Chains A and B, each alone.
Chain A
Amino acid sequence: MLVRKNVWELGGDWADPILWYARAVGALKPKPISDRTSWRFWAGMHGYNQGLWEFYGYKAAKEKLPAKADFDEFWQQCQHGSWYFLPWHRGYLIGFEKLIRATVVSLKGPADWTLPYWNYFKSGQNGLPPAFGSPDWPDGKGNNPLFVEQRWGPDPKKPGKVFVPLNAVNLDAMGIHEFTGVASGGDRGFGGVDTGFEHGGTKHGDIESQPHDQVHGLVGGEKMFPKASPRPLPGLMSAPDTAGLDPIFWLHHANIDRLWQSWRLSDHRNTDPEESSWKKGPASHGKHQFVVPLPDGSPWVYTPQQMSDFAGVGYTYSDFSPAGTPLAAVASATAAPSGAATMAKSTGAAVEVVGVSAKALAVAGNGAQTSVPVEPQMHAKVASKMATTAAPGAREERVFLNLENVRGYSDATVLQVYVHFAGKDGTPSAERQVGSIGLFGITKATETDAGHTGGGLSYALNITKPYQEFAGSANVDLANIGVRLEAVAPVQQSAEVSVGRISIVRQGD
């Protein structure tokens, strides 16, 4: 069995698997873009942006793209803001790992090479693995193919110092038991919303919203190039159209892929969708099928159903604990037969708006803040539901903060989100962090008429806990529930980042 291992625990910065990865990447990078087994062809399968690719030197102005048939079949397939996010990326990784392994073998390397994963949550491992951060090979010679110049990290004052700030990411998604959720403002589910026919791709699922999006932006960062653009330009990892060009992309996604299986192992309720529209993929909606080339160039078509069968995918991970500490709940995975104990589907659960601030909130510099007025009747409803224990089979009351129609041109931006409940008499109360949002994909979602509607992205953050703390208090000023966004790195004015609407929404029976 092929085992994907922790990149920080391979036994040295330049342990064999990393060295062979570097050699293979070095062999694939010079191949023509149009070659199905080239480095850049694989990046283009995730996304492509002519301006950025040419500006960063990943494509010469005169260089030919893949022929139209190949372009249409393979390129720009990445699934975001959809319940296909996890299965599409799993197949993409499998195809990529096969290509690297075949290349390693052709360079006389080991036939059991596997893609390492980067578990930034494990203690002491949130830094970029050193082999990726050095422009040199271990012998001190330059030209290390794992090194990427356009990987600036979370702090613009220290470009190139790459790490994942742990206060900006969390594993809250692992506690969600439904794979798919609602599009109307409640929980989107671990894997994302059933995008059906109205495929918008603007509502990222829980594991995609956190930590996937943040890690992209925090690692890639952004930089000003005043001569090229008034707006900041994203690091390769920060935008979907360039992310696949960075060798660290694959280690990040291996971790997300690992978390999918961790989630399934951690609780018997955590199961993949049974709907045939998920299992058979977007082809069942008349949309593009999932397809990647094999090392010999022939196309391999795969479905979410195949990706969901973990025993059949041909690899496993050395460790399934999300943060590197043992899984507590593994035992319960076998306690109940799967299927028999499926949860009551949340189909009957109502999603209702509790309060709205509809003034667009511009986000620049260190952040922005506003307040959301809450409807007294709706608040009373939430408070009373929270005060009583839910009847058996009923859904517990949950409250979400929705950041809707978030638009702008800074994919690297990560915003810490805080809520705070003030007293009527002006007594301030403690502010609570309720998570963070990463604007990965925001530029594409903002542009109109380029295959998107231009309405921006929207986010739903669970604020049940802080809301519950104050729900019963008669002193809370319902007209002023504070929401504060704090940028991890300063947001450029020219990036025009704004939140179109902020709402508080309840979900329950």
Chain B
Amino acid sequence: MYVAVAAGGFRRYATYRAATAAGVFTNTVFGLILVYTYLALWDVKPHLGGYDQAQAVTFVWLGQALYATLAIQGGGFETEFMERIRTGEVAIDLYRPADLQVWWLANDLGRAVFQLLGRGVIPFTFGALVFPTALPHDVGTWLAFLVAVALAMVVSFGIRYLVALTGFWLMDGTGALQALMITGIFCSGMTLPLNAFPGTLGEVVRVLPWAAQVQVPADVLMGQADPLPAFAFQAVWAVVLLAAGRLLQTAAARRVVVQGG
């Protein structure tokens, strides 16, 4: 059943072809702007964060490819889920013979896979063709990268599920979504690779769950990190976040019952 839910999530986004094409265009434009600023930065400071210029460029295009996939700034299932919480329709979902968390996870994974294929591949290919990039030649590294991306999808879901659940207490999700935007952009490396962050700030952001989203897959792809410890880092965060979501969901479900009766 959850496979069908995921397929539904995939198909739903596949319907909007013009929107997808527009997204590809936008990601390419932003990628171009970022690439030039990174090149200027690495020009002044070669090997910043242990990357050479080609690696910095690769990082930019990976970020653009994963931006919609991992819903870095939001824009996944959470808006709809929060709306259902606000209107109370979530009560119906709770009575369904499906697990709420797994149901939304399946839905969001379907969306993420579509965004990766629909919005990710083209900007990335463009970037790799036009600029010198640091891409591996062996299939194994690419497979490891895909595993890292899959784990990143789960971590991303875990974070957004927690944010969405705050809707049970806050009702208005504007503030929570804004916080999601800020942390997503800043802590996942969309503005600057996390290994180029200075000092203590850099050490802190590299152990936060957001690091599992762009930084870790990028380092796996470019051979900067060993796959197994990288997977372990992502998996630990995925489990912790999903468990926290499960706990919060139980508390929230009780709240719905209290309100209803």
Q: A and B: partners? A: no
- B residues in contact (CB < 8 Å) with A: none
